Amino acid sequence: MPKVEITTDNLTLDVNDGYALIDMCEDHDTSILFGCRDGACGACMVKVVKGAENLSKMQDDEKDFLETMAAEEDERLACQCKVHGDVVLEVSE
């Protein structure tokens, strides 16, 4: 069972393979914020500290949006990610 650690919240959760990060955050009290829930606002941007390879592959729309936002290489939109293995996340500033 994959583990998701959110260092900002000092929280580690066990989730099912393929679980959406947005669902995890709705079920638990995390500091990851959501707006559009559709990859278009950037509210949910997180830094992937470890395990980027264990998140669902980035689609073109997310990639284009992150480029527009001048995001760092290790940043993802939480609303677009599903978990397939252990990851460590930090809330982007």
Residues that bind ligand FES (CB under 6 A): 34-37, 39-44, 77, 79
* Residue number with CB closer to ligand FES (15 or 45): 45
Cβ proximity to ligand FES, 41 vs 91, nearer residue: 41
* Residue facing ligand FES at closest CB distance: 79
Cα–Cα distance measured from residue 79 to residue 12, given in angstroms and rounded to the nearest whole number: 18
Dihedral Cα 28, 5, 87, 15, nearest 10 deg = -40
The least distance separating ligand FES from the CB of residue 44, rounded to whole angstroms, comes to: 3
Nearer to ligand FES, 11 or 34 (CB): 34
With the CA atoms of 81, 30, 3 and 61 taken in that order, what torsion angle do they form, in degrees rounded to the nearest 10? 10
| Three-state SS at 47 | strand
